[in-house]
Structure 1
Amino acid sequence: MLDIDLQMPPKGKWHTPPFDPRFPNQNQTRNCYQNFLDFHRCLKMMNRRGRSTQPCEYYFRVYHSLCPISWVQRWNEQIREGTFAGKI
């Protein structure tokens, strides 16, 4: 995994997410979805270990920057209802 400090943008200078070589195309739908999953997996793992969830903020900021709000709201509803298709 990459160093968290290298992934964090300078304070107050967060306009777009950095380039992710896993998603080189213009269509960033998979990037959005993957960062949403990574955020929730990170939260689950950090809470289970009793550690700070601060490193998970990176994924939160990326998916909030890339994903339409309606998608995030629908996915969160599905998680609450237990019908989300992704593996968290």
Structure 2
Amino acid sequence: MAEIDAKIKNYRTAPFDARFPNTNQTRNCFQNYLDFHRCSKALSAKGQDVSPCDWYQRVYKSLCPLSWVSKWDDQIEAGSFPGKI
């Protein structure tokens, strides 16, 4: 776990993801946003620490425009988010 924490602290930008090889990283942004919320929901339901989910949050925050993230957060609160979380 110490290795993961060290990698997260040294994190600068989103690393290459082979699932998204193209220049357009919109899908990568959205997928990491979904993965963060799924991860935090699953771990909090089990009563575990959600710190491993920080990786997804850091990646989507480096890839996604802030306006998208705030819009998605508002949609989650309103119950109208299109993704499956």
TM exceeds 0.5? yes
Q: How many residues are treated as equivalent by the alignment?
A: 84
Q: CA deviation at 1:27?
A: 0.3
User: Which amino acid letter does the alignment assign opposite residue 63 of structure 2?
Assistant: L
Aligned with 1:9: secondary structure?
helix
TM-score (norm 2): 0.90
User: Of residues 70, 74, 82 in structure 2, which corresponds to 1:73?
Assistant: 70
Percent identity, aligned pairs only, is 55
Please state which structure has a larger fraction of its residues in helix. 2
Cα distance in 2 between the residues matched to 1:57 and 1:10: 8
> Is the counterpart of residue 9 in structure 1 residue 10 in structure 2?
no
Unaligned runs of at least 5 residues, structure 1: none
TM-score (norm 1): 0.87
User: Which amino acid letter does the alignment assign opposite residue 33 of structure 2?
Assistant: F
User: Of residues 58, 62, 65 in structure 2, which corresponds to 1:61?
Assistant: 58
